[in-house]
Chains A and B, each alone.
Chain A
């Protein structure tokens, strides 16, 4: 505790100025170190288990290691190719040896998967070629003579003819490859391999924006039936904005209402607002499924009251997603608005009214600007929450209601396309960051006013 003694002593006892400054400096540094060591555990925890995994994940969006790993000889050989016409025979030969290398099969398939992201059908071409090459090498093993099985159990009916004609083995690598599949004589497949040998690739980020590198080397839009990601980004934005707006329109009156209630009733209503907030999202989503299904409770009610002859599609569409999302987001809108409202002394509006302002004018010119920070906080909170929604649209939405999060998960779980998942994540984070930035500017601008 000597440090504190010195601090306390500074007031009374005269000390050498330089020594004092030095010891103050030392004390300050020790104090700062203490602060830092208190923060360090969480800082390190967040860094190691949050920041680093996410940054490492982002690297996937430009990583381009699959082709060099799966096709090392081809990667080397294709450097010689100028890019016009078919590559020289040496490249064909290199590819043949790469594909025949059974030790490296997993990496070859990894390269095939990567090339398929660039040119659709490449994976099929590669697996076909790999099995074509190995069949050629085996010179077609004798078909297994199987003893006859009783009728009525084979999925192939009862006449099985598993014969396969084998063609004569072609001579040159070019003939071998193009003999297995004629696509090997098309330049675009070789160009895709060449792009796969670049140190980094723009492929995934371009894909996420519905763009690709054309065969001429320029950036172009993908064919219309592959254009899905810009729509997806717009949808994510649109759904989030709609939910935020609806939550605002519904939440504001409720907050206003609570504010006007006597304290006891207000806290009871707040309790009712908090109950859904603390209830598991899955429990709430389950409830909506039961309510909104075609044979669900709401439709039962609609038919019972003869509001509609047929049952209405309320779920697995945009309507269901909006309803369920608004339900989840509403408390997050109400809480900040209400807490700001609570802090506004009624004397402000009373003063304005007593000065002769019309009620509407009081509301819009005095009250609303006062509540504005609460509105802004609610809108920001809800909007950012919505951007990342996954569970609710996945459970109550149809295929055309899914948002960016769903496609990120699908890219990883179904397609093993880490690059695309990463690129879509970057876009999602950029939208979040942009929103925060805009709000910050907006908030400081209104505060300045």
Chain B
């Protein structure tokens, strides 16, 4: 090898480095959940925001492991400027002191938002649902799944079931199928017997379960026929329907929650991130998410901006939410570590 080759390689890498550097501009990084819901945020918020302000938004993907935020905060090495997540994560991060607190003068106080959609550590911006979904092509003739109990009925509906490898929704689903009314879910879950009941119920279909971790997996698992039924986030199924896939949502036993943006404590991008937060809190901007995907508005002032067709598919629409329940953020933030261990251990048995 001659010097020329080495020098050439160095020059080439230098050129490449500067071309990478050219991409640098004012930007924030937002941790999203991949797939359709990420695309919805991108279409409703990120792209218009970048067009309006010139601030670029890089989106990353995470799966809700709060530990990853804690590590960033503890070591002061920030990967994400903002993070999308559900109520329990905001509550837990707030209690753990890993989230930045928002100034009420900027983001407003609780009365601007729907009930339960305000926290000092996060900005709720959408309501969404966890559902059971099925591939309607697999049930062409005969009965279609309609209730939570059908999910556990292997005789009536044989085939694999897809389930998120996470305690959220897995616990509630088993109890609902076991006959616990939605209002009593967390009363039962707070007892050791209640948890035993959950895993005993899952034991009945354990060998038919295909576990998923990323939200974009269930529509694919269903469409590919790898599973006949799966838990899924409702908006992903609606997105798959738009792509022409014959997937259907079972509205019985839907789990409702709010989606939030939170900020890792001490984030160096705070100022830029707040520009984004202010942008999505403008009522007409906030309403946009409901027109690109079935996410309900959270800001009261945004509700009048919704078009009638946006409301039909909303998980909070009374026709959909008849037998729904809301996830209990308190229960999850308090017991999360224990529940995660319990599930992980059960998976190994």
Q: Which A residues form the contact surface with B (CB < 8 A)?
A: 105-106, 109, 113, 116, 120-121, 123-124, 127-128, 130-131, 144-147, 149-157, 160, 162, 225-226, 228, 231-232, 293-295, 316, 398-400, 410, 412-416
Please indicate the chain A residues that have their CB under 8 angstroms from the CB of B256 in the complex.
155
A156 and B226 contacting across the interface, CB-CB below 8 Å: no
Please indicate the chain A residues that have their CB under 8 angstroms from the CB of B68 in the complex.
413
Interface of A (DSSP majority class) = loop
Given that A226-B345, A316-B210 are contacting pairs, would A293 and B226 also be in contact in the complex, using a CB cutoff of 8 Å?
A: yes
B95 and A225 contacting across the interface, CB-CB below 8 Å: no
B67 and A414 contacting across the interface, CB-CB below 8 Å: yes
A294 and B110 contacting across the interface, CB-CB below 8 Å: no
B334 and A128 contacting across the interface, CB-CB below 8 Å: yes
- Closest residue of chain A to B300 (Cβ to Cβ) is A149
B349 and A123 contacting across the interface, CB-CB below 8 Å: no
B348 and A232 contacting across the interface, CB-CB below 8 Å: yes
B337 and A295 contacting across the interface, CB-CB below 8 Å: no
| 6 CB < 8 A contacts A-B | A123-B338, A153-B296, A155-B315, A157-B326, A228-B348, A412-B67
A153 and B127 contacting across the interface, CB-CB below 8 Å: yes
Among A106, A127, A155, A228, the residue within 8 A (CB) of B98 is: A106
| Beyond known contacts A123-B337, A415-B67: 10 more, CB 8 A cutoff | A124-B334, A144-B109, A153-B297, A153-B303, A155-B257, A225-B345, A316-B210, A399-B165, A413-B65, A415-B341
Please indicate the chain A residues that have their CB under 8 angstroms from the CB of B344 in the complex.
228, 410
| Complex alpha-carbon distance, A413 and B65, angstroms | 7
| Complex alpha-carbon distance, A123 and B92, angstroms | 11
| Complex alpha-carbon distance, A155 and B255, angstroms | 9
A295 and B224 contacting across the interface, CB-CB below 8 Å: yes
- Closest residue of chain B to A412 (Cβ to Cβ) is B67
A295 and B96 contacting across the interface, CB-CB below 8 Å: no
- Per the 8 Å Cβ criterion, residues 114-141 of B in contact with A are 114-117, 127
B303 and A149 contacting across the interface, CB-CB below 8 Å: yes
- Closest residue of chain B to A144 (Cβ to Cβ) is B110
A225 and B67 contacting across the interface, CB-CB below 8 Å: no
State whether the Cβ of B272 lies closer than 8 Å to any Cβ in chain A. Answer: no
**Which one of B24-32, B237-245, B316-324 is at the A interface?**
B316-324
How far is the CB of B345 from the nearest CB of chain A, in Å? 6
Among A120, A145, A414, the residue within 8 A (CB) of B338 is: A120
| Complex alpha-carbon distance, A354 and B117, angstroms | 89
A295 and B127 contacting across the interface, CB-CB below 8 Å: no
| Complex alpha-carbon distance, A231 and B117, angstroms | 44
State whether the Cβ of B77 lies closer than 8 Å to any Cβ in chain A. Answer: no
State whether the Cβ of B160 lies closer than 8 Å to any Cβ in chain A. Answer: yes
Among A105, A113, A145, A155, the residue within 8 A (CB) of B127 is: A155
A152 and B311 contacting across the interface, CB-CB below 8 Å: yes
State whether the Cβ of B233 lies closer than 8 Å to any Cβ in chain A. Answer: no
B317 and A120 contacting across the interface, CB-CB below 8 Å: no
Given that A155-B258, A225-B345, A228-B348 are contacting pairs, would A415 and B115 also be in contact in the complex, using a CB cutoff of 8 Å?
A: no
How far is the CB of B104 from the nearest CB of chain A, in Å? 12
Among B117, B211, B324, B337, the residue within 8 A (CB) of A415 is: B337
Given that A152-B318, A157-B321, A231-B348 are contacting pairs, would A124 and B338 also be in contact in the complex, using a CB cutoff of 8 Å?
A: yes
How far is the CB of A393 from the nearest CB of chain B, in Å? 13
- Per the 8 Å Cβ criterion, residues 291-341 of B in contact with A are 296-298, 300, 303, 311, 314-318, 321, 324, 326, 333-338, 340-341
Among B70, B160, B340, B347, the residue within 8 A (CB) of A399 is: B347
How far is the CB of B33 from the nearest CB of chain A, in Å? 16
B95 and A154 contacting across the interface, CB-CB below 8 Å: no
Given that A149-B303, A154-B115 are contacting pairs, would A109 and B96 also be in contact in the complex, using a CB cutoff of 8 Å?
A: yes
| Complex alpha-carbon distance, A153 and B337, angstroms | 31
Given that A109-B95, A109-B97 are contacting pairs, would A416 and B338 also be in contact in the complex, using a CB cutoff of 8 Å?
A: no
State whether the Cβ of B155 lies closer than 8 Å to any Cβ in chain A. Answer: no
- Closest residue of chain B to A106 (Cβ to Cβ) is B97
B300 and A147 contacting across the interface, CB-CB below 8 Å: yes
Interface residues on B, range: 35 or more
How far is the CB of A180 from the nearest CB of chain B, in Å? 12
Please indicate the chain A residues that have their CB under 8 angstroms from the CB of B342 in the complex.
120
| Complex alpha-carbon distance, A228 and B346, angstroms | 9
How far is the CB of B109 from the nearest CB of chain A, in Å? 7
- Per the 8 Å Cβ criterion, residues 39-78 of B in contact with A are 65, 67-68, 70-71, 73-74
Please indicate the chain A residues that have their CB under 8 angstroms from the CB of B321 in the complex.
152, 157
Please indicate the chain B residues that have their CB under 8 angstroms from the CB of A147 in the complex.
111, 300
A106 and B115 contacting across the interface, CB-CB below 8 Å: no
Among A120, A294, A416, the residue within 8 A (CB) of B225 is: A294
Please indicate the chain B residues that have their CB under 8 angstroms from the CB of A113 in the complex.
337
Please indicate the chain B residues that have their CB under 8 angstroms from the CB of A162 in the complex.
115-116
A116 and B115 contacting across the interface, CB-CB below 8 Å: no
Please indicate the chain A residues that have their CB under 8 angstroms from the CB of B96 in the complex.
105-106, 109
| Complex alpha-carbon distance, A414 and B115, angstroms | 30
| Complex alpha-carbon distance, A414 and B65, angstroms | 5
| Complex alpha-carbon distance, A120 and B96, angstroms | 18
- Closest residue of chain A to B224 (Cβ to Cβ) is A295
- Per the 8 Å Cβ criterion, residues 204-223 of B in contact with A are 210-211
B115 and A120 contacting across the interface, CB-CB below 8 Å: no
| Complex alpha-carbon distance, A154 and B224, angstroms | 34
Given that A130-B95, A144-B111, A295-B225 are contacting pairs, would A155 and B345 also be in contact in the complex, using a CB cutoff of 8 Å?
A: no
Q: Which among A121, A154, A155, A293 has the greatest number of chain B C-beta atoms within 10 A?
A: A155
| Complex alpha-carbon distance, A151 and B318, angstroms | 8
| Complex alpha-carbon distance, A121 and B342, angstroms | 11
| Complex alpha-carbon distance, A231 and B348, angstroms | 9
Among B115, B226, B315, B337, the residue within 8 A (CB) of A149 is: B115
Please indicate the chain A residues that have their CB under 8 angstroms from the CB of B338 in the complex.
116, 120-121, 123-124
A127 and B326 contacting across the interface, CB-CB below 8 Å: no
Please indicate the chain B residues that have their CB under 8 angstroms from the CB of A416 in the complex.
67, 70-71
Please indicate the chain A residues that have their CB under 8 angstroms from the CB of B316 in the complex.
152-155
In the A-B complex, list the 5 residue pairs whose CB atoms are closest, starting with the nearest: A155-B256, A416-B67, A399-B347, A105-B97, A124-B334
Please indicate the chain A residues that have their CB under 8 angstroms from the CB of B333 in the complex.
127
A124 and B335 contacting across the interface, CB-CB below 8 Å: yes
A156 and B67 contacting across the interface, CB-CB below 8 Å: no
Please indicate the chain A residues that have their CB under 8 angstroms from the CB of B210 in the complex.
316
| Complex alpha-carbon distance, A334 and B250, angstroms | 53
| Complex alpha-carbon distance, A106 and B317, angstroms | 39
Please indicate the chain A residues that have their CB under 8 angstroms from the CB of B226 in the complex.
293-295
| Complex alpha-carbon distance, A149 and B113, angstroms | 9
How far is the CB of A103 from the nearest CB of chain B, in Å? 10
How far is the CB of A435 from the nearest CB of chain B, in Å? 24
Among A152, A316, A398, A412, the residue within 8 A (CB) of B317 is: A152
B314 and A294 contacting across the interface, CB-CB below 8 Å: no
Among A153, A160, A226, A413, the residue within 8 A (CB) of B314 is: A153
Given that A113-B337, A153-B316, A155-B256 are contacting pairs, would A160 and B160 also be in contact in the complex, using a CB cutoff of 8 Å?
A: no
- Closest residue of chain B to A102 (Cβ to Cβ) is B97
B349 and A225 contacting across the interface, CB-CB below 8 Å: yes
Please indicate the chain B residues that have their CB under 8 angstroms from the CB of A415 in the complex.
67, 337, 340-341
